[in-house]
Every structure is written in structure tokens, then in C-alpha cells.
Structure 1
Amino acid sequence: MQGKHHGEYKVPGGKLVVVDLDVVDGALRDVRVAGDFFLEPDEALDAINGALEGAPAETDARGLAARIDAALPAGAVLFGFSSEAVGVTVRRAVAGAQEWTDFDWQIIHEGPQPPALHMALDEVLTAEVAAGRRPPTLRVWEWDRPAVIIGSFQSLRNEVDAQGAERHGVTVVRRISGGGAMFVEPGNTITYSLCVPNSLVQGLTFAESYAYLDDWVLGALGDMGIKAWYKPLNDIATEAGKIAGAAQKRMVSPVGAERSASARGGDGRQAGGAVLHHVTMSYDIDAEKMVQVLRIGKEKLSDKGTTSAKKRVDPLRRQTGLPRDEVIARMIASFRARYGGAMGSVSAQELARAEELAAGKFSSREWLTRVP
């Protein structure tokens, strides 16, 4: 912790905050806050720097924000950022967090695959990132059949109408992350996973990491004319309704994991654990079928039926007027414009391991019914 530190934090939907500081004898020294935010009056910046000077290096983001709030002159205006955003940036600096552009990203977009294999690929690829054998990865899914994916901790019988799923030919699988049930159909859904090193979200709380990892797709949607925002804890919404939901799983790196350099100017694959952040977006929706398959849909919608379902989830097809393939292409292009990235693929070894997991764990009745 001792020595010089640099941290950056792009406020979701806001501006970039940058902090340079030293840690001397366990305290913050020579703190310099900068960024493309707006701040009035000018002397408020000196007040922010002064408030952080001498703070114990282990102070959390809220504690640092409290120091800043107490020091700001009356009537100070912070636009595009907040005192807590500065606190988060300081925590990221002290923790040695890496930035999106520190990595050589790989982007995977392959052909349609069965639901159990998608579940397995998420586990395998994230484990490979955690072990330092794979660079940070954005993977866009394609579905070969309709499916319901329930969260790791959800009750199968409470979430899925078994007769409705069978009647509509819907495969039911359980994923490794928490959160709610997802109803997906080929052509109607856009799903992607981010498999990233823990170092990318260092200094962020779980809630902050959701917003941070969703920020790129908000920009991509904005490029398509959709004003979207992160809605705590794990939704992406517009004025017209919800368009996406996210879930996460944290993985620790195995003992003795390999290390290999991939980050620009640093060791971007160093073992240290990884985060799986996956998102399902509604391109189109068959609301009538959804409420016949998901019990949760019936509970939340009560007697309002499919009309309410359509209001709850507002599809990208209607909002963009673009074909699904074009939406995906623009999302990938937006990601690459921001952070770079080369198109890649799942390796033969990764696929073999994923197929083994898909046929075993993710197709087993034991896993599916682990919460009956």
C-alpha cells in the first residue's frame, strides 16, 4: 500500500474521476483529484483535496465522502460526479485497480448453442480468466432453443410452470449466478457475458460493480438513440420500461495458477480471481408465452396479464427499429471503440471442459433441483 497510487473511475452515466496520491505511514498524502467533471466554485477542488489529505488509507468510500462533504464550501455544485465517486476512485487507487483499457480484450460471438453449454461456458471461461490463462473476455451468446434460466438460489417449483415449459418446448437450466429467472427465445434475446479479472472492479462494492460493468452498454445503447440507465440492483431501464437484467458470480483463482502478460504495459492476466457479469436483454418478447412458463411472471403481473408484461419489459426491437444482428454488431463496435479488443473463439480445451460440464453438472437433475 505504501507509495504512489493512481486511480480512475468512470461514474456510470456521468464523468471520469481521476486521483493521484501517495500513501505515507498509512495515511493519504499529496492527494490530487482531477477529471472531466464540472465543479463550482473553483476553490471546491482545493477543499476536496484538503479533505482527503491525511485520511487513513483504509477509510472506505463513504467515510471519504463524508470528509469531502464536510469540507465543501456552502453552495458547492458537483455535476457529473459526487463526493462518493471521489471516495470510490481513492479506494481504487489504493487497491491498485486496473482500467478497461489496461487489457487486451477478446470478443467471442459464435453460433447457436444449447442452454446447458452456455451455463458451462460461463463457468469455464471465468475460471480461465481467474487462473490467468485467458484475457478478459466479452462473449455474446446465440441460443439454439427457447429456455428458462433460473438463478443459483431460486426454487425451481416456485419459478417455473413445468407444464407450461413442456408445452412450449422450453428447456429449463440453472446458472451459477444469483438473481431472477430469465425467459429467452432464439431471435428474441440478446445475451452477453463479461469475464473480467477482480482487478477491474477493485475498490468497488458489489452494487457499484454492477453499474460499472454495465456502463459500456449504456453508451452503446445511447449510440443507437436509446437513453438507458442502470437501475439498482441489477436492471437496465429506459423511460419505456426495463430492457435488461444482470447477474454476477465471483470466482477465486486456483492455487498455483499460471501467469502470463496480456495487459498493455502490465501483467493483465495475473491470477487473482475473476468476476462473471452476464446480462440478458430483450430484443423482442412473447409476453403471452412468458407468463405461461414463468410463475414469477404470474406473481408479479397478478391479473394484469400480457398487457402488463409488455409494459414491464420494453423490447429493443421497438425502441431501435434495427434488426437484432445489427444491434449486436453495433454493441460490439461500441465496445471495441472504447476499449479495443480482438475477435476470438473458445479454445478446443475450453470447449471440451464446457461440454463435459454441460453434459454432467448442468444437465443433471441434482443441479437443477438443488433448490427444489
Structure 2
Amino acid sequence: MRQGSGSGGGESGELGRHHGEYKVPGGKLVIVDLAVVGGVLRDVRVAGDFFLEPDEALEAINGALEGAPADAGARDLAVRIDAALPAGTALFGFSSEAVGIAVRRAVADAAEWTDFDWQIIHAGPQPPALHMALDEVLTSEVAAGRRPPTLRVWEWDRPAVIIGSFQSLRNEVDQRGAERHGVTVVRRISGGGAMFVEPGNTITYSLSVPQSLVQGLSFAESYAYLDDWVLAALGDMGVKAWYKPLNDIATDAGKVAGAAQKRLASGAGAVLHHVTMSYDIDAGKMTEVLRIGKEKLSDKGIASARKRVDPLRRQTGLPRAEVIERMIASFRARYGGSDGVVSDAELARARELAAGKFSSSEWLGRVP
């Protein structure tokens, strides 16, 4: 397995051939093998664990892709496929656009999850500013090839509000409410909305992955792709969850998680994808601390908050520690992974950033 981001995770080993895979979120796996000759696709072979009727539709898909421009987008490839499918064709667990995405990943020689030796970190409680810094440091180390792709599960040492990189501090946070409830406010490096977290009520994790893992995917597609494993983990716990564009994980009962991303261009490039999941919630406290919560939920107050966010404690009936344990076990079953730690050098750098950047009034108030 590869440790870093390398080039050619999609190579099939046969000279001139490209191999790409795309797991449809909540659906089936699509695999494409192809060659690129003179700027067009040749000898395209589509496979996977999907269902397709009638049988001859598979050759129609292969034929539609033959001779297509190698730089065509997934949507353009899907149009070619749709036009070639026999009348009455039924696709189960995938779509023509999913095939197009798999083609794009093949052409880009995108890496797959199992190409890497994953490291899994789950340490004790840490302060909010240090969590912000660890995300930046570990993802930078992955980009530089000095750290393998990493799943890090957070533990909080205090309640916090984490606002997005581009959010206005005064518009999002009721400072008096935060002070009254002893809530620390920090700003993360990724975009998106504000998150209210409390120790014991929140499950937070980060994926620091090489850019090569999301090659061939649009920004929106990468969210669904990087969230798919946790959907399966929740399913194993009896929770039917799905990805809700752009950055939510939801169930029939309500939203259970929100994701955010940051792309780092240093080295070979890396993606930080972090998710905050609601295990339990104090909706009253949340609406006293978050202004955005008040605005969105002003018509129905706390009752609306409980409807919008439905905690995993109720949906799983499991202790928080067991939910985390099962999530990690599910990840390992799919992709492998060994227990890891933050190195002394990484921790020293993170502490420096936590004190000098993420605890500074300049960073927190950079959008007043």
C-alpha cells in the first residue's frame, strides 16, 4: 500500500491502461478500465456490483464511451450513455453519471481508499483551538507526504462553538450567551456554518487525505464520496442515513451531522474533510449561543431545533463510546487502518498554531 499521495493509484498495471472506481453514495460500486489514445477513450470496459437490465445495455454503455473525448466531463459522458441505452433499460444502484464519474477517476489515475495504509488517531480531550490547529498540521503533513492518510476522532475538553472560515463572528454568535454558558468560540480553516458542541454530546472526526483520493470528483461529489463510509457505519447500527447536498448527513428523523472541507495546495495537495455529528443536544442552550440558530428556528424555537437535529443517542440507543467504537471498526473493515498518534513534532507545531493563530483575536474576528 502507498503511504502518501503518489501518482497513479488508478493504474491497472497493464501499460497504457487506466483503472477507476466510484462507489455511489448509498449505492453500488462502478469500475471502469480504459485506455486513452490520441485524446479519446478506447477499449472501455465497465463493471461493478450494480444491477442492469437488459444484459445488452452493458455493451451499449461501453460502446457509448468508445471514442469519447478523454477530457469530457461526467455529465457529458452521461448524456452519451443515456442516448445509447436500449429502450426500457433499468439501472439499479448506479446511474449513467456515476459511470461518467468512474471514467473521470480512471483518466485521472485517482487513488482508491485501499491504496493507502491508514492511520487512526483517537486521543483524550483537547481544547478547541488545538483541534483547529491539529486539523491544519496533520493535513499539511499528508500533503507533504510525511504522514499517511489519517482518520482522527476528536474529544472535547469544554463546550465550544466553531464558526466557518468566512462567517461573521457577530452575526453567528451571541457573545453574552457564550460567556454565560462557558462556551469557547473558535474559527476553523474550512468554510460552512457554525457548529455547537459539548463534551459527551458530540462526535467529531477529521479525514486528512491526499488530493489523489478525490481526483476526478467535483467539489460536491467529494463530500458524498468522503461521507459514504460513515453512512455504512450508521446503517450497521440500524440508522438509515444519507448524504444531503451539500454538506449534511440526514435521516428520516432529521439532520444528524454536518461536514466541511478545506483543500491545501502545498506538496502534492491534500483535503481536510471534517464532520460534526450530534449524539445528544441541548437545544435551549444552542439557541442562546448561536444567532443563526435563533434566526433559522425563530418560528418554532426549541421544538424546531429538536426537529432539525435528531441526535444519534435516540436513534441508535447506544452509548456514545460504543457509537465511536463501531464507527472506527466499520472504517477498518472497509479500508484497514492502524492505531496512530500525533508525533511530538506535529503536536509542537499544533500548539504553536493554537496559541499564535487560532487563539488570536485577529483570526477569530477576521470577519467581524
TM over 0.5, shorter chain? yes
Residue 313 of structure 1 corresponds to 309
Residue 128 of structure 1 corresponds to 141
For residues 201 and 281 of structure 2, what CA distance do their matches in structure 1 show? 6
Larger mean Cα displacement after TM superposition, 336-345 or 302-311: 302-311
For residues 189 and 62 of structure 1, what CA distance do their matches in structure 2 show? 37
1:298 aligns with 2:294: yes
State the Cα distance separating 1:19 from its structure 2 match: 0.4
For residues 18 and 115 of structure 2, what CA distance do their matches in structure 1 show? 15
For residues 86 and 234 of structure 1, what CA distance do their matches in structure 2 show? 23
Q: Give 2:298's aligned amino acid.
A: S
Residue 37 of structure 1 corresponds to 50
Residue 67 of structure 2 corresponds to 54
For residues 17 and 124 of structure 2, what CA distance do their matches in structure 1 show? 46
Equivalent of 1:346, from 339, 342, 349? 342
3-state SS of 1:169 partner: coil
Residue 332 of structure 2 corresponds to 336
1:70 aligns with 2:83: yes
- Runs of 4 or more, structure 1, over 4 Å off, are none
For residues 241 and 59 of structure 1, what CA distance do their matches in structure 2 show? 37
1:167 aligns with 2:163: no
State the Cα distance separating 1:3 from its structure 2 match: 2.1
1:248 aligns with 2:261: yes
1:357 aligns with 2:356: no
For residues 17 and 266 of structure 2, what CA distance do their matches in structure 1 show? 27
1:285 aligns with 2:285: no
Residue 233 of structure 1 corresponds to 246
Residue 112 of structure 2 corresponds to 99
Residue 323 of structure 1 corresponds to 319
**Mapping of residues 116-155 of structure 1, within 5 Å:** 116-155=129-168
3-state SS of 2:158 partner: coil
Equivalent of 2:29, from 12, 16, 21? 16
The C-alpha deviation readout for 1:303-352, integer Å capped at 9, x for no partner, is 31111101110000001111100000000000000000000000000000
Residue 223 of structure 1 corresponds to 236
State the Cα distance separating 1:253 from its structure 2 match: 2.2
Equivalent of 2:217, from 186, 194, 204? 204
The C-alpha deviation readout for 1:54-111, integer Å capped at 9, x for no partner, is 0110111111001001111111101100000000000000000010001000000000
Uncovered stretches (5+) of structure 2, i.e. residues with no partner = 1-7, 9-14
For residues 252 and 219 of structure 2, what CA distance do their matches in structure 1 show? 25
State the Cα distance separating 1:117 from its structure 2 match: 0.1
Q: Give 2:142's aligned amino acid.
A: V
The C-alpha deviation readout for 1:284-316, integer Å capped at 9, x for no partner, is 000000000000000000131111101110000
State the Cα distance separating 1:252 from its structure 2 match: 1.1
Uncovered stretches (5+) of structure 1, i.e. residues with no partner = 255-271
**Mapping of residues 264-279 of structure 1, within 5 Å:** 272-279=268-275
For residues 243 and 35 of structure 1, what CA distance do their matches in structure 2 show? 30
Sequence identity (%): 86
